[in-house]
A = this chain, B = another copy of it.
Amino acid sequence: MGGRMRDKEGGMNHFILRRTALLSGWLALAAPGTGLAQTESLLKLKPVPFTQVEIRDSFWQPRQETNRIASIPVNLAMLEKSGNIRNFELAAEGATNGFVGPFFMDSDLYKAIESASYSLATHPDPALATRLDGLIGKIAAAQQPDGYLDTYFTVKEPGRRWTNLRDCHELYCAGHLIEAAVAHYQATGKRDFLNIAIKLANHIDSVFGPEKRMGYPGHPEIELALVKLWKATDDRRYFNLAQFFIENRGRKYFAVEHHESLDHYDGTYWLDDVPIVEHQKIKGHAVRAAYLLSGATDVAGETGNPALLAMIDRVWRNTVERNLYITGGIGPSARNEGFTVDYDLPNLTAYQETCASVALAQWNQRLAALYGDARFADVFERALYNGSLAGVSLNGTHFFYVNPLSSEGKHHRSGWFQCACCPPNESRTLSSLGGYAYASSEAGLWVNLYIQGSVTATVQNQEMRVKVTTEYPWDGKVVLEPEMKQPTPWELHLRVPGWCAGATVSVNKKKIKNARMERGYFVIDRTWRTGDIVELNLPMPVQRILADPRVQADRGLVALQRGPLVYCLEQCDQNEPLGRLCLPQAAQLKASRREDLLGGVVVVQGLAGAAPEGKLYQAAGPERSVEFMAVPYYAWDNRQPGPMEVWLPVGDGMR
């Protein structure tokens, strides 16, 4: 941490605070070739657990409350109705038929329990706690004497355990069980679910590993879960098993498993085409890729494996520079629920699975902790406020699996899915959302998301609390008030979002000029005392955004964003057919608060161009100007059905 400028007067520095790299862009990326892994040491921050983060704002708090009172009960009820819970009863009864649904049914219940556990951790709810205990009892009853637990195989294919790792999601389900169990343990202090997870993990550890047998999951997930279990139990075996699954991936085990000739085997879909350290770009199934990279980041962060870190760096760059929707989602194609070629980001047919946005956020949270670089928080902020948040309706009862950026009016949220991975995934993200906001080290606190409320963390061996007052994401003013027992020197790192130009900060009403900027954060390094007031100002003009010209789908189109929120136009807010509207440079764009709308949003209104219809081809010229209104993308499809567009034509001008 050499070279940083201490405040010599024990007060504050005076800087012009400006994240200059961002003047021309949103996704601020280091210059090509400056691989993080090779050039910077690992910071290894600790994300501040969501249990130490209090959310008291007008944006997330209502969503969390809706999640608690609507989505979690809906999830559990639909799992009951769909047979997910009955499958556990069948397994406990020793039944060999009657299994209902696809082979990954168990995982949906685990994610729902994980979400409910997170909710319990911040919002006591005895009825819910009792409900979970009952479910955990059913899970316990379904566990086999040797620790094995997967109702699909126990009921439907007994004797065929671990024979089809590629397709049958046993390890994936186990991973979600482990995550849920760790969550339940941490939320309630009860060990019953954790013990199930330990017994299962021990069983898996008895099967797979060096000098045992080869294998890794067709659908990655267990790797990151085992790292969580290691941290919860301090049993290093679980980390070692995660490392085994990660580092062996790409040995083309699935070809062996399915007796396929290596000459014709294409393992791309499962990220099993090349040894893991050799990946050059993001590929295959999007959720699998992002879970795998999450686990790989966990493992590499612990081992420091330079080849693994370099791969993660390469693939991250490829993801955010060439394969990321503006709404923070990944995976354009329905065919493989995943990636195709660089810059292929169609809007109408965008797959952008809700789970993939969640997984991308998880991966980037790990990178943010590893490197302490704001670019990673830029990505998870984008995902959390846009692509993944759209996954659930404002009333919490309907869900998107697929998130297009353009709709002709026929794409709507569903009450449930046969493949129900997304609803509980977004639910657990909401109920643990505070965990994305902060990270800490001995040296200080990193603020990644600006959410009204507070955070408690231990810095320089002292517990301190920072109270946050802000209307973010609707307004860019953020007031932070540290509280601690005695004046203490530590560094406050305030993320200057990639979308922001002209950020300023003051401490105790004095503007800091030439503030130190480190990895995308303002660093205020001083002896803090209770009563200090930091005010961060992040200007939030409405921005017209263009995509790299290599994105064919966005050629000639422009999108609107304000702060971290990407906007869209829904037909119900326009007087003209949506397809006619364009947003030329001269378009007037005004942001205004509308408390009555969509739970309270800032809308973008103004004058757009309206292209004439009727002549198939005609001489270009300024379009007639018409009023329009845009709403945040996450809030679309909550009113009357109709067409929606994120990207509009630039148009030729306005008259």
**Which residue numbers of A lie inside 8 Å of B, CB to CB?**
24-27, 29, 320-322, 324, 326, 348, 543-552, 555-559, 579-580, 582, 585, 611, 613-620, 622, 648-653
From A546, which residue of chain B is reached at the shortest CB distance? B620
Min Cβ gap A241→B in Å is 36
CA distance A611 to B548 in the complex (A): 8
Contacts of A614 in B (CB 8 A): 321, 548
Among the interface residues A29, A559, A614, which one has the most CB atoms of the partner chain B within 10 A?
A614
Contacts of A551 in B (CB 8 A): 616
Known: A555-B649, A556-B649, A558-B652. A546 touches B617 (CB 8 A): yes
Contacts of A549 in B (CB 8 A): 579-580, 582, 611, 613, 649
Contact of A618 among B546, B618, B648 (CB under 8 A): B546
From A653, which residue of chain B is reached at the shortest CB distance? B585
B544 touches A615 (CB 8 A): no
Contact of A29 among B615, B619, B651 (CB under 8 A): B615
Contacts of A585 in B (CB 8 A): 620, 622, 652-653
Min Cβ gap A573→B in Å is 18
Contact of A547 among B559, B616, B651, B652 (CB under 8 A): B616
Could you list some 20 contacts between A and B, CB below 8 A? Answer: A24-B615, A26-B618, A26-B619, A27-B616, A27-B617, A320-B616, A321-B615, A324-B616, A546-B620, A547-B617, A548-B613, A549-B579, A549-B611, A549-B613, A551-B616, A555-B557, A556-B558, A556-B582, A585-B652, A585-B653
Tell me what chain A mostly uses at the interface: helix, strand, loop, or mixed.
loop
Given contact pairs A546-B652, A548-B611, A549-B611, enumerate 19 new A-B contacts (beta carbons under 8 Å). A25-B615, A27-B618, A29-B615, A320-B616, A321-B616, A322-B616, A544-B619, A547-B617, A548-B613, A548-B614, A555-B649, A556-B650, A556-B651, A559-B617, A585-B620, A585-B652, A620-B650, A650-B651, A650-B652
From A610, which residue of chain B is reached at the shortest CB distance? B549
Q: Which 9 A/B pairs are nearest by Cβ-Cβ distance?
A: A556-B556, A556-B649, A25-B618, A544-B620, A549-B611, A25-B615, A556-B557, A546-B620, A650-B650
Min Cβ gap A377→B in Å is 16
A24 touches B618 (CB 8 A): yes
Min Cβ gap A382→B in Å is 9
A615 touches B652 (CB 8 A): no
Min Cβ gap A623→B in Å is 9
Known: A579-B550, A649-B549. A26 touches B617 (CB 8 A): yes
